[in-house]
Amino acid sequence: MTNSNMTCEAFDAALPDYLEGTLDESMRASVEAHLRECVRCAGLVRDLENIQKEAAALPDLVPSRDLWEGIEARIVAPVIPLAARPEREKRYVPAWMGIAAAALVVSTAGITYTLTSRSLAGRQAQSIALGTTGQTQQPLDTGAPQQSPDAATTEPVNGGSENLPGVRGSSAQRGGVQANLVSQPQNGPASSDAVYGKEIEMLQRIVSQRKTQLDSSTVAIIEKNLKIIDAAIAQSRAALANDPASMLLSGQLTRALDKKVELLRTAALLPSNT
């Protein structure tokens, strides 16, 4: 503390602005009055001003080695830019098309779920009924074409191995009950095949409409994978024709159909220009 009104603490607070020359007139006068009386603060200002002056006058430093060689090596061998990618034509797709595609996919998924749920419920109900009575039941009237009882009990419907997801053969189905289930073509593999067929058809329609919005390489990959899946479906069907009761083959066919639906759904929802 000095005779001036300013304390050393107040001086310290004002010091940065004093050195910057940004104090107002009255504050500056107070600081200068304090400096005339306070040795500690005067010494501090003197030292800091000397540091400023010395810093501004610092001589340039010299590198320990000639750096040009390294610089020249880098600028002589510039990075070769990758071949410029051809500018992709900007395709503007109305937002409603994307929304419509998404809505269609959702609706087909919903239809699949509804139909497969009904099919599963019907099969389970019949399975329970048949399992308890041990009698051959007449097919339920669902409006689906019915086969003769003889044909139904001895020969599965063509493609009947395309079971529903989640109905891939319990131990009960592998036994006597399964024989009765095979006789229910309206809720069995035939109807599930129809569900898959309907959904695949709808999705394929969406994907074919979207082909122009997708990158040609993406379309090629999708088509290539669809061919592979179709080949797997065809092989599974052929194998099932020889061994209609095989749950393994049935499961394989179901998985292949699932894959096809999944791929088509993914393709239908791909953003444009991918």
Question: Under the rule (CB under 8 A), what is the footprint of other proteins?
Answer: 12, 15-16, 19-20, 44, 47-48, 51-52, 54-58, 60-65, 67-68, 70-72, 74-76
Shortest distance (Å) from residue 72 CB to other proteins: 7
Q: Any alpha helices (H) in the chain, and if so which ranges?
A: 8-20, 25-37, 39-56, 68-76, 95-133, 149-154, 171-174, 176-182, 189-210, 216-242, 247-269
205-214 long-range Cβ contacts below 8 angstroms, 24+ apart = 206/101, 206/104, 206/105, 206/264, 206/268, 207/264, 207/267, 207/268, 209/101, 210/101, 210/267, 210/268, 210/270, 212/91, 213/91, 213/93, 213/97, 213/272, 213/273, 214/267, 214/270, 214/272, 214/273, 214/274
Q: Which is nearer to other proteins, 76 or 95 (CB)?
A: 76
Q: Which is nearer to other proteins, 81 or 166 (CB)?
A: 81
Q: Which is nearer to other proteins, 64 or 138 (CB)?
A: 64
Shortest distance (Å) from residue 66 CB to other proteins: 9
Q: Which is nearer to other proteins, 25 or 60 (CB)?
A: 60
Q: Which is nearer to other proteins, 56 or 95 (CB)?
A: 56
Q: Which is nearer to other proteins, 15 or 269 (CB)?
A: 15
Full 3-state SS string of 138-191:
CCCCCCCCCCCHHHHHHCCCCCCCCCCCCCCCCHHHHCHHHHHHHCCCCCCHHH
Q: Contact, 263 vs 229, CB < 8 A?
A: yes
Q: Contact, 173 vs 184, CB < 8 A?
A: no
Shortest distance (Å) from residue 262 CB to other proteins: 41
Shortest distance (Å) from residue 21 CB to other proteins: 10
Q: Which is nearer to other proteins, 12 or 230 (CB)?
A: 12
Shortest distance (Å) from residue 76 CB to other proteins: 7
Shortest distance (Å) from residue 83 CB to other proteins: 20
Shortest distance (Å) from residue 87 CB to other proteins: 23
